[in-house]
Amino acid sequence: MQVIHSIDALRAALKPYVMQDKSIGLVPTMGALHNGHAALIKESVKDCDVTVVSVFLNPIQFGKNEDLDKYPKRLEADAKLAESIGADFVFAPSVAEMYPEGDPLTLVRDESLESLYCGAYRPGHFRGVLTVVSKLFLITGANHAYFGEKDYQQVFLIERMVRDLNFNIKIHRVKIVREESGLALSSRNEYLSELEHSQALSINNGLHQAKELFEKGERRVALLRDVVIKSILANRGQVQYVEVVDQKTLQKFSAVLQPDVKVVILVAAFFGKTRLIDNIELN
């Protein structure tokens, strides 16, 4: 496996595979790889002839008061993990390599959805995500890309970007990987104290309580939301949002769900200073 830092070097390394019409899989990450990322890499290795794992802490998707500076950085360990799973390349560019003229003036946006849910509390976040992901698609020429469903809004926006801009790439959703406790794996979990980690289990517990109610026939949006909110608040979490939304459009529901609708509950909450997200589909 090779660790490559420049765009030109990566394109040169991938050119023989492109010429041979080999399939290229891309796993975009910000580093601090864990078993959730490992699941994405495994899917790419299984499906594709070549797998590229990008490790890039993208500054333009972080706001002024967010955790860019303290976000875990451990490229050597990330590369070892990627290699152990079967990745062929780790692409780890500098900020100057990706944005040689500073913050880009050309940005990829989804005006109808970028300001909802996570976007409402992280202005500019999804513009940064869509811009860097589109750059990675173009740099690698990948045929396949792999994203975890924990970032539900993110993967929805990326799928729509691919359709709207005619990228010749297939997006693969990979199910949320969880600890045995049920907490969704995240690089930010390591910020949690032991007590906060225990309290954070209330997110998944509340989501499953809502799912049980849904499966018993409950269709009132307010009640489904409230059971999640109460679970988090009872464990000293701070709710940022809990919304019941349409899987197909990501538009939120506010009254009573129709019998045939496919629903996902999206959650963001703080435990201490650590912001966590999660979701559950109700079909």
Give the mean pLDDT of 102-116.
95
Find the range with the poorest average confidence among 60-64, 225-229, 231-235, 275-279.
Answer: 60-64
Residue 281 CB neighbours (<10 A) = 14
Q: Is the pLDDT of residue 65 over 80?
A: no
pLDDT beyond 90 at 72: no
Q: Is residue 180 part of a domain?
A: no
Whether residue 225 has pLDDT greater than 90: yes
State which residues form the domain around 60.
2-174
- Order across the sheet with 24-29: list the strands: 2-4, 89-91, 50-55, 24-29, 144-148, 170-174
pLDDT at 67 (0 to 100): 78
Q: Which long-range contacts (CB under 8 A, 24 or more apart) does 118-122 make?
A: 118/153, 118/154, 118/268, 118/277, 119/153, 120/241, 121/240, 121/241, 121/268, 122/63, 122/66
56 and 158 both lie in a single domain: yes
Question: Where residue 236 sits, what CATH number does that domain have?
Answer: 3.30.1300.10
What are 161's two structure tokens? 């970007």
Summarize pLDDT for 268-282 with one digit per residue, the tens: 999 999 999 999 999
Which residue, 146, 174, 202, sits at the end of a domain? 174
> Which pLDDT does position 260 carry in this prediction?
87
197 annotated active-site: no
Catalytic residue among 37, 125, 144, 197: 37
264 and 161 belong to one structural domain = no
- The answer as to whether 179 is a domain residue is no
- Estimate the share of the chain in helix, then strand, then coil, as percent rounded to the nearest 5: 40, 20, 35
* Residue 127 sits in the same domain as residue 254: no
Q: Is residue 95 part of a domain?
A: yes
Q: Are 21 and 159 part of one and the same domain? A: yes
Tell whether 54 and 77 lie within a shared domain.
yes
Q: Closest by alpha carbon to 214, among 281, 268, 117?
A: 281
Average pLDDT on 217-241 reads 98
pLDDT at 69: 85
Judge whether 97 lies within some domain. Answer: yes
- Classify residue 182: in a domain, yes or no: no
Please give the pLDDT value at position 201: 98
pLDDT at residue 224 in the model: 98
The CATH number of residue 125's host domain is: 3.40.50.620
Note whether 147 and 193 are same-domain residues: no
Looking at the structure, tell me whether residues 109 and 225 fall in a common domain. no
Q: Domain check: are 213 and 235 in the same one?
A: yes
> Is 181 inside a domain boundary?
no
What is the tens place of the pLDDT at every residue in 124-166?
999 999 999 999 999 999 999 999 999 999 999 999 999 999 9
- 283 — pLDDT class (breaks 50, 70, 90): confident
Determine, yes or no, domain membership for 261: yes
d(Cα 75, Cα 121) in Å, to the nearest integer? 29
Structural domain count of the chain: 2
User: Which tokens in the block code for residue 27?
Assistant: 């796993």
Rounded Cα–Cα distance for residues 55 and 53 (Å): 6
**What percentage of the chain has pLDDT greater than the value 90?**
95
Kindly state whether residues 165 and 195 are assigned to the same domain.
no
Same-domain pairing of 154 and 260: no
Percentage of the chain lying above the pLDDT 70 cut:
100
So what's the pLDDT on residue 185?
97
Q: Which of 141, 174, 207 is the last residue before a domain boundary?
A: 174
Give the pLDDT band of residue 63 (cuts 50, 70, 90).
confident
Specify the pLDDT at position 257.
96
202 and 272 share one domain: yes
Q: How much is the mean pLDDT over the chain?
A: 97
Q: Are residues 154 and 41 in the same domain?
A: yes
Please report whether residue 270 resides in a domain: yes
Give every CB contact of residue 111 below 8 A, 6+ residues apart in sequence: none
Residue 64 has pLDDT above 90, yes or no: no
Cα atoms in the Cβ-side hemisphere of radius 13 Å centred on 265: 29
117 pLDDT above the threshold of 90? yes
Q: What are phi and psi of 151, to 5 degrees?
A: -90, 70
Query: pLDDT tens digit string along 38-47?
Result: 999 999 999 9
